[in-house]
């Protein structure tokens, strides 16, 4: 295979992952080139006169001037077909498990195992028959990829015509399973196809996103929801819990497929992901979570150029499953490390830097990535979505740095992580003052229809209380809590209850780690009703101390650990108990 590739140039200069080549044959932008006799994979990113620049996705040690550069004539592409789910890839879709079998511990340079197994046979069940008309993006058959996901085999882009032959049974991905008469000849269709990672896959139409991506995390679902097909970023300094939040979303969000991109994160963090994910159980199905997950691992000590490509690899795989009609969630951890890779490569290519050394085209690159999210109508006639949740790691937790600021231009949900909350062991450490969601209005109808008609009213009322509490805390810092009347002390007390009994959530507690929407609403309603009752009592002859001595008060604090998602009747009893508290009988007041 390597012998058939023609020589397109020779190495003139090596600068880390950037190789300058002298042209011997015609080259094209973004084509894959292979450097040296080990055939190190790279991508042509610049052509000038008789020279061209390659960003190499592997360690360029021992590459020297005069070494041959081989051309493939193809852009950097990923293989899309059965076998993606449950797999672990590097940034350019090389299967790490297969590489480990070949090289034991280290990734040998130049190794290029196929991304999808060529030997495994899949049971193909056609959904079209001879004589049917098909076009690009249509589903021609089903493969049971895992026990959770049916892999829908699609007609590749550019093929349209009449089915001449369809073959049911067990086949490898390279076997011809369908033949289509296009009118200009016969086209063979296999179970897999290739797609360039930097070009978005075609869709029929973009549609309006009206359904939330349910995460099971109360602070996110209730206060700052994201739509299926939405875009979101999680900025936060070191140790504030970005990776932990993304792990929770990967485990519990109601997306059909999860694509987790470890982009430039520390090796020990990715090791935890790679070791823990195969052991995790999907809470909805009871099956291993890896049956609907694809991991892309590109740690900080791996070649920097591959880090730049990794997010495009992930989003292209996500688009493929979206085209089947699935809802896909992408966890990109973190886009700051991706931007740093972009900065390093730009510096080595001697491009003019912009703010903080990042290249001037970084905002455009961010936009290209986030704009591939959305809800779409596919050529198969169904709807699929891609939700992108990107972590941002601003140095020193400074949200005014370029990556965070440019990311905010392209996202609609902002989950800001707060250092103070993290230090207080309040997780998820999502700041309710800095975070926001622009999907609230569009998702309110779904919540009102599927959960409760007054969800939006309760949510907004509690957000107003949290904002009032900030002003009251400033007064407390100046003159102390005793200067406040009981009515204002009660607002501070209710906000403390809301933070501890609702917003704070333990990822390690079996009952508290995941919370359904109906349970979330009841917990929110309980706290709000208690606030209304308490405010009513304070207008009478009762004190804050008496209200805090109620059994109900302590029961509210314990409810998230006491009553599970299936114990909604217990929450309804607590609601009834609060509603029946009265000034007349006092209930111990």
**Would 161 be classed as within a structural domain?**
yes
- Shared domain for 65 and 127, answered yes or no, is no
- Shared domain for 23 and 163, answered yes or no, is no
> What pLDDT score does 138 carry?
95
Task: Check if the beta carbon of residue 155 is closer than 8 Å to that of residue 180.
Answer: yes
**Would 68 be classed as within a structural domain?**
yes
CA separation, residue 295 to residues 32, 104, 187, 318, 463 (Å): 23, 20, 33, 12, 36
- Shared domain for 169 and 223, answered yes or no, is no
Give me the CATH number covering residue 41. 2.40.30.20
**Would 45 be classed as within a structural domain?**
yes
Structural domain for 475, as ranges: 455-588
- Shared domain for 214 and 180, answered yes or no, is no
- Shared domain for 433 and 332, answered yes or no, is yes
- Shared domain for 153 and 50, answered yes or no, is no
- Shared domain for 421 and 553, answered yes or no, is no
Domain count, the chain: 4
> What pLDDT score does 2 carry?
42
> What pLDDT score does 584 carry?
58
* Per-residue pLDDT tens over the stretch 291-342: 999 999 887 777 888 888 999 999 999 999 999 999 999 999 889 999 999 9
Residue where a domain terminates, one of 55, 75, 95: 75
Task: Check if the beta carbon of residue 35 is closer than 8 Å to that of residue 60.
Answer: yes
Report how far residue 263's alpha carbon sits from residue 303's, in angstroms, rounded to the nearest whole number: 11
Give me the CATH number covering residue 254. 3.40.50.300
- How many residues does the structure list for the chain? 589
- Shared domain for 165 and 268, answered yes or no, is no
- Shared domain for 310 and 409, answered yes or no, is yes
> What pLDDT score does 212 carry?
96
**Would 107 be classed as within a structural domain?**
no
Which residue positions in the chain have pLDDT lower than 70? 1-4, 103-105, 583-589
- Shared domain for 69 and 216, answered yes or no, is no
Report how far residue 106's alpha carbon sits from residue 4's, in angstroms, rounded to the nearest whole number: 28
**Would 98 be classed as within a structural domain?**
no
* Per-residue pLDDT tens over the stretch 157-176: 999 999 999 999 999 999 99
Report how far residue 293's alpha carbon sits from residue 53's, in angstroms, rounded to the nearest whole number: 35
Give me the CATH number covering residue 521. 1.10.1140.10
Report how far residue 126's alpha carbon sits from residue 169's, in angstroms, rounded to the nearest whole number: 9
Rg over CA atoms, the chain? 28
**Would 84 be classed as within a structural domain?**
no
- Shared domain for 266 and 355, answered yes or no, is yes
- Shared domain for 135 and 277, answered yes or no, is no
> What pLDDT score does 104 carry?
59
Instruction: Look up tokens 């089915």; give the residue.
Output: 163
Residue where a domain terminates, one of 166, 191, 216: 191
**Would 104 be classed as within a structural domain?**
no
Mean pLDDT score of the chain:
91
- Look at residues 58, 62, 57, 49 and name the one whose alpha carbon lies nearest to residue 11: 62
Give me the CATH number covering residue 128. 2.40.50.100
**Would 82 be classed as within a structural domain?**
no
């Amino acid at each position: 295979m390597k012998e058939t590739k023609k020589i397109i140039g020779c190495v003139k200069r090596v600068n880390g992952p950037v190789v300058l080549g002298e042209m011997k044959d015609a080259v094209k932008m973004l084509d894959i080139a292979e450097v040296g006799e080990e055939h190190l994979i790279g991508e042509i990113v610049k052509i000038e006169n008789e020279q061209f620049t390659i960003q190499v996705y592997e360690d360029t040690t021992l590459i020297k001037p005069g070494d041959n550069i081989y051309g493939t004539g193809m852009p950097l592409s990923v293989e899309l077909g059965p076998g993606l789910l449950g797999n672990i890839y590097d940034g350019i879709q090389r299967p790490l498990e297969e590489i480990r079998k070949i090289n034991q511990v280290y990734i040998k340079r130049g190794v290029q195992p196929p991304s999808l197994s060529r030997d495994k046979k899949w049971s193909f069940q056609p959904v079209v028959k001879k004589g049917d008309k098909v076009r690009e993006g249509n589903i021609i058959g089903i493969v049971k990829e895992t026990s959770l996901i049916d892999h829908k085999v699609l007609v590749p882009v550019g093929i349209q015509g009449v089915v001449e032959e369809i073959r049911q049974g067990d086949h490898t991905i390279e076997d011809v399973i369908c033949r289509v008469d296009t009118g200009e000849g016969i086209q063979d269709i296999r179970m897999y196809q290739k797609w360039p990672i930097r070009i978005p896959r075609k869709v029929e139409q973009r549609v309006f996103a009206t359904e939330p991506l349910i995460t099971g995390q109360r602070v996110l679902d209730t206060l700052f929801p994201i739509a299926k097909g939405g875009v979101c970023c999680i900025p936060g300094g070191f140790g504030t819990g970005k990776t932990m939040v993304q792990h929770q979303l990967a485990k519990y969000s109601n997306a059909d497929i999860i694509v987790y991109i470890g982009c430039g994160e520390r090796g020990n963090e990715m090791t935890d992901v790679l070791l823990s994910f195969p052991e995790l159980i999907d809470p909805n199905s009871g099956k291993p979570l890896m049956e609907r997950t694809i991991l892309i691992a590109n740690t900080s000590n791996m070649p920097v150029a591959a880090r730049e490509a990794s997010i495009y690899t992930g989003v292209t795989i996500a688009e493929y499953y979206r085209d089947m009609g699935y809802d896909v969630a992408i966890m990109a951890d973190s886009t700051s490390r991706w931007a740093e890779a972009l900065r390093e490569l730009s510096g080595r290519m001697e491009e003019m830097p912009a703010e903080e050394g990042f290249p001037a085209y970084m905002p455009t690159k961010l936009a290209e990535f986030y704009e591939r999210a959305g809800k779409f109508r596919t050529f198969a006639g169904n709807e699929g979505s891609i939700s992108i949740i990107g972590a941002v790691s601003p140095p020193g937790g400074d949200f005014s740095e370029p990556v965070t600021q440019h990311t905010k231009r392209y996202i609609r949900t902002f989950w800001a992580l707060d250092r103070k909350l993290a230090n207080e062991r309040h997780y998820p450490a999502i700041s309710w003052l800095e975070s926001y969601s622009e999907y609230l209005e569009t998702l309110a109808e779904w919540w009102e229809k599927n959960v409760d008609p007054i969800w939006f009213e309760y949510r907004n009322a509690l957000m107003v209380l949290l904002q009032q509490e900030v002003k009251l805390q400033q007064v407390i810092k100046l003159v102390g809590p005793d200067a406040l009347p009981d009515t204002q002390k009660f607002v501070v007390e209710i906000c403390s209850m809301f933070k501890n009994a609702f917003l704070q959530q333990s990822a390690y507690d079996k009952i508290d780690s995941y919370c359904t929407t109906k349970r979330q609403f009841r917990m929110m309603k309980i706290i709000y009703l208690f606030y209304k009752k308490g405010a009513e009592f304070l207008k009478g002859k009762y004190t804050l101390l008496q209200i805090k001595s109620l059994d109900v008060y302590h029961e509210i604090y314990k409810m998230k650990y006491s009553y599970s998602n299936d114990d909604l009747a217990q929450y309804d009893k607590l609601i009834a108990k609060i509603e029946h508290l009265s000034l007349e009988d006092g209930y111990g007041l």
